[in-house]
Amino acid sequence: NAGVTQTPKFQVLKTGQSMTLQCAQDMNHEYMSWYRQDPGMGLRLIHYSVGAGITDQGEVPNGYNVSRSTTEDFPLRLLSAAPSQTSVYFCASSYNPTSYNEQFFGPGTRLTVL
Amino acid sequence: KNEVEQSPQNLTAQEGEFITINCSYSVGISALHWLQQHPGGGIVSLFMLSSGKKKHGRLIATINIQEKHSSLHITASHPRDSAVYICAVSAAHNTDKLIFGTGTRLQVFP
């Protein structure tokens, strides 16, 4: 199993550009989530999904969009990038659709918005 | 005040020392997670526990539900243990989401 994969690993955007961060898992996990990690702060939940076709907002959803058309994929879209979105982004998954479960994290995407 | 607090924020140790990292939380929980983030950035799950104690190799995690406190211990520390250790809780009132502490940065010197 590849586990949780994320692409790209690094990205530089200009303010106003849009892009999609890809996340995929091959473990048939129901629960997938996106976090951002900023210096001095804990991981913060952006959006999450408890199964295909179901998504919900986390703590910091503004400026981001998600969809979950398949169990395997959970892309994160930045609609119009802003410097405040400069961060490291992690995708995570777990078998059952609750956080009361071992979490598997992707390697992260380091995004810089100029 | 954060719902999950870790101490210390930074910790340095000599190889072989016994290390303790603490996590306190203010919400009712279903489970508590300890995660490890290496300098390369990857995050791995070390433990998930809801009571008592768990051990894996040189790592031991304990939790006291009444006191809302957990500790992560590393015995016979080694430079390869250098990482950020993150505590996260699955809140009882909303198990859809994890609440994270800000992490403890550990450096172990030879």
pLDDT digits (tens, 9 = 90+) for A67-90: 999 999 999 999 999 999 999 999
Average pLDDT score over residue span A85-100: 85
| Chain B residues with CB within 8 Å of chain A CB | 2, 4, 30-31, 33, 35, 41-45, 48, 50, 86, 88, 90, 95-103
Place of tokens 């994969």: A5
Tell whether A90 lies on the interface with B, counting CB pairs under 8 A: yes
Q: Do B42 and A108 touch (CB under 8 A)?
A: yes
Q: Which of B69, B88, B66 is nearest to B20 (CA)?
A: B69
pLDDT over 90, % of chain B: 79
Question: What are the chain A neighbours of B48 within 8 Å (beta carbons)?
Answer: 100-102
Surface-to-core class of residue A107, CB atoms within 10 Å of its CB (0-12 exposed, 13-18 middle, 19+ buried)? middle
Q: Do A99 and B97 touch (CB under 8 A)?
A: yes
Q: For A48-62, A93-107, B31-45, B68-82, which range has the lowest pLDDT when averaged over its residues?
A: A93-107
Q: Higher model confidence: residue A39 or residue A5?
A: A5
pLDDT at A96 over 90: no
Residue A102: pLDDT band (50, 70, 90) is: confident
Tell whether A40 lies on the interface with B, counting CB pairs under 8 A: yes
Residue B98: pLDDT band (50, 70, 90) is: confident
Strands (DSSP E) contained in chain A are: 4-7, 10-13, 19-25, 31-37, 44-51, 54-57, 64-66, 76-78, 87-94, 104-105, 109-113
pLDDT of amino acid B92: 80
Q: Do B100 and A101 touch (CB under 8 A)?
A: no
pLDDT at A97 over 80: no
Average pLDDT score over residue span B67-95: 93
pLDDT tens column, B29-70:
989 999 999 987 789 999 999 999 999 999 999 999 999 999
Q: In this structure, which amino acid lies at residue A32? A: M
Place of tokens 């799950």: B45
Q: Do B102 and A98 touch (CB under 8 A)?
A: no
Among partner residues A40, A97, A102, which is closest to B102 by beta-carbon distance?
A40
Q: Which residue of B has its CA nearest to A47?
A: B97
pLDDT of amino acid A95: 87
Mean model confidence pLDDT for chain A: 93
